[in-house]
């Protein structure tokens, strides 16, 4: 150790010049393993939000895409990975720098009108989306002859148990296990023995499927974009980053976490399309549960993994969506709103979580409840919130007073604004086409 | 129940008071974005109302 050298300087190792290769390798390995340990401690919000993005609705969309267009739209799904990354990465920076969730950030920056609009719209959208998650979960479990009430009660127990520990870390680790289960589809993509040539062509050569550009194709592309970026994702990841306590110096690890999540979400989407493209091409498939039943005669194992994956996707979506709303309410009203608080310490935070959970599950159990209408209505309601949430995000990320050196660079603005405008236009057209189906001939 | 409702009303008023003034600098770009959002939402709501009327009329 050189005279005057601090402990911190010594721990970084001696300068590279004059070091023998073995010593250089050793210090390089030590630096890398330290970085890996920090990353593993910080990883979580990005992976969870992205994998949860493949919720019951997302799984259904990819299933229908594969059944209708085979491998021809793989390239489009791969392109959506960076789209999701660039949008979600902004929430990491905003959360780490401001230490505020997205709802609170909107209230502070834009005032009470836009704040209440965003909060109440989020609550409505999230609650309706929760119902669609329950629809997916009950449909999946009905394949194994579980009655809906049993599925709903099981979900209540699982989701309730996950959060009562009073530790964010416990909740996160359990959720990451569910994220791993979400990758259950991956082996199925190999088991169906797809044509490698078709997969590579579909994945890396942008082209239109047979039949060219039709209204149906346009509707399907819009549905895929709509399922990739959902408003709750912005609120969830930012609040999760704050609850986890990420600091500005952790932003680079948060970006890697988000990138890994984007990779996983695209991976699951791609394998679903491969499986459905190989086994169900040309068949009219409207839901993932229907796909699982259709696959069962061909391969009971793949059909079973489909059903388990659908249940897991719905559960992950439900967990994240309910937390997104609870965090948003807690931030705005100033309630204790951390998963690091026990129920007695944050009663309103947990009360809202359980209220949301129970109410959405109860709706699914009502006989002759208009579940199809609710599923369609979600698309429309999301259209009112998503553009506002994205525009607020861009404006906040360009506010130098708020973001300091983490403000958007020119290239980030070019990428983000292009993505935001495209997502707003397509999601609006998707919402409008849901209200007026004949408008685009879909 | 009345006490809970009163408490909620008080909290809402507190939120409104706390966030009465937007902190963001209202540059021309920001004002344009917010105005565009308002017009966008009004058009969307109008479309939904039209659809509702169409469905109600059968």
Q: Cβ–Cβ of A333/B21 closer than 8 Å? A: no
Q: For residue range A120-162, list pLDDT tens digits in order.
A: 999 999 999 999 999 999 999 999 999 999 999 999 999 999 8
Q: Which residues does A264 contact at the CB level (< 8 Å), separation at least 6?
A: A47, A50, A51, A179, A182, A183
Nearest chain B alpha carbon to A348: B8
At residue A15 the predicted structure's pLDDT band, cuts being 50, 70 and 90, is: low
pTM of the prediction? 0.88
Task: Check CB contact of A332 with chain B, cutoff 8 Å.
Answer: yes
The answer, for A391 touching chain B at a CB cutoff of 8 Å, is: yes
- Name, in order, each residue with C-beta under 8 angstroms of A48's C-beta and a sequence gap of 6 or more: A172, A175, A176, A179, A240, A261, A316, A320
Domain boundaries, chain A: 43-440
How confident is the model over A261-304, as pLDDT tens digits? 999 999 999 999 999 999 999 998 888 899 999 999 999 999 99
Whether residue A55 contacts residue A229, with contact meaning beta carbons closer than 8 Å, is answered with no
Enumerate long-range contacts of A348-354, CB under 8 Å, 24 or more apart: A350/A163, A350/A326, A352/A325, A352/A326, A353/A163, A353/A322, A353/A323, A353/A325, A353/A326, A354/A160
- Looking at residue A399, its pLDDT comes to 92
A207: helix, coil or strand?
coil
Q: What is the pLDDT of residues A229-241, one digit of tens each?
A: 889 999 999 999 9
Q: What is the mean pLDDT of chain B?
A: 87
Nearest to B44 among A109, A111, A383 (CB): A383
Rounded to a whole number, what is the distance in Å from the CA of A440 to chain B's nearest CA? 15
pLDDT, average across residues A160-166: 84
A253 to each of A40, A45, A130, A175, how far by Cα in Å?
Answer: 9, 11, 30, 19
Answer whether residue A26 shows pLDDT above 80.
yes
The share of chain A scoring above pLDDT 70, in percent, equals: 95
Cα of B36 to nearest chain A Cα, Å? 10
pLDDT of residue B19: 92
Q: How confident is the model at residue A16 (pLDDT cuts 50, 70, 90)?
A: low
pLDDT number for residue A39: 80
Distance CA B35, CA B29 (A): 10
Pick B19's closest partner by Cβ from A112, A380, A388: A112
Residue numbers in B near A432 (CB within 8 A): 47
CATH 3.60.10.10 fits A43-440, yes or no: no
Domain map (residue ranges) of chain B: 24-58
Please check whether residue A333 touches B, CB under 8 A. Answer: yes
Q: Identify the closest residue of chain A to B9 by CA–CA distance.
A: A333
Contact A101, A239 (CB under 8 A): yes
The complex scores an ipTM of 0.89
CA distance A55 to chain B (A): 26
Rounded to an integer, the average pLDDT of A293-321 is 93
Closest CA to A349 of A321, A332, A324, A329: A329
- Chain B residues 10-39 within an 8 A CB cutoff of chain A: 11, 14-16, 18-25, 29-30, 33-34, 37
Say if CB A302 and CB A276 are below 8 A apart: no
Best mutation target, A391, A397, A428, A430, to test chain B (most B CBs within 10 A): A391
Shortest CA gap B18–chain A (Å): 8
Q: What is the pLDDT along chain B (58 residues), one digit of tens a residue?
A: 788 888 889 989 999 999 999 988 888 989 999 999 899 888 888 888 888 788 777 6
């Amino acid at each position: 150790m050189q005279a005057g050298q601090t402990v911190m300087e010594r721990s970084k190792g001696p300068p590279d010049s004059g070091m023998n290769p073995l010593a250089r390798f050793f210090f390089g390995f030590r630096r890398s393993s330290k970085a890996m340990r920090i990353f593993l401690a910080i990883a979580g919000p990005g992976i969870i939000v992205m994998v949860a993005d493949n919720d019951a609705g997302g799984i259904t969309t990819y299933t229908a895409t594969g059944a209708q267009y085979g491998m021809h739209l793989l390239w489009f799904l791969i392109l959506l990975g960076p789209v999701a990354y660039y949008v979600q990465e902004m929430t990491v920076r905003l959360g780490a720098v401001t230490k505020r969730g997205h709802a609170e950030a909107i209230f502070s920056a834009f005032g009470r009108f836009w704040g209440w609009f965003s909060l109440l719209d989020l609550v409505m959208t999230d609650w309706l989306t929760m119902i669609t998650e329950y629809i997916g979960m009950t449909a999946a479990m009905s394949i194994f002859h579980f009655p809906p009430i049993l599925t709903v009660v099981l979900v209540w127990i699982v989701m309730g148990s996950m959060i009562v520990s009073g530790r964010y870390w416990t909740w996160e680790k359990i959720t990451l296990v569910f994220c791993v289960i979400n990758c259950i589809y991956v082996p199925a993509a190999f088991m169906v023995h797809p044509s490698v040539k078709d997969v590579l062509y579909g994945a890396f050569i942008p082209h239109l499927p047979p039949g060219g550009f039709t209204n149906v194709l346009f509707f399907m592309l819009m549905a895929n974009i709509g399922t990739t970026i959902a408003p709750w994702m912005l609120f969830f990841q930012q609040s999760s980053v704050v609850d986890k306590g990420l600091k500005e110096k952790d932003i680079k690890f948060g970006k890697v976490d988000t990138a890994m999540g984007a990779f996983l979400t695209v991976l699951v989407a791609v394998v679903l399309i491969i499986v459905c493209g190989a086994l169900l091409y040309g068949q009219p498939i409207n839901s993932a549960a229907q796909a699982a039943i259709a696959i069962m005669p061909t391969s009971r194992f793949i059909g079973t993994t489909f059903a388990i994956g659908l249940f897991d996707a719905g559960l992950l979506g439900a967990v994240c969506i309910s937390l997104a709303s609870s965090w948003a309410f807690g931030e705005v009203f100033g309630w204790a709103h951390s998963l690091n608080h026990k129920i007695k310490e944050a009663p309103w935070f947990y009360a809202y979580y359980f209220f949301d959970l129970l109410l959405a599950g109860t709706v699914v159990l009502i006989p002759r409840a208009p579940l199809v209408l609710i599923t369609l209505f979600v698309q429309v309601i999301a259209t009112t919130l998503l553009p506002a949430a994205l525009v607020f995000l861009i404006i906040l990320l360009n506010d130098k007073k708020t973001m300091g050196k983490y403000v958007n660079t020119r290239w980030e603005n070019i990428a983000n604004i292009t993505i935001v405008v495209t997502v707003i236009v397509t999601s609006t057209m998707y919402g409008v086409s849901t209200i007026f189906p004949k408008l685009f001939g879909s | 129940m009345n006490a809970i409702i009163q408490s909620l009303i008080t909290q809402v008023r507190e939120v409104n008071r706390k966030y009465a003034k937007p902190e963001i600098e209202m540059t021309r770009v920001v004002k344009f974005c917010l105005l565009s959002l308002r017009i966008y939402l009004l058009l969307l709501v109008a479309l939904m109302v039209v659809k509702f009327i169409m469905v109600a009329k059968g």
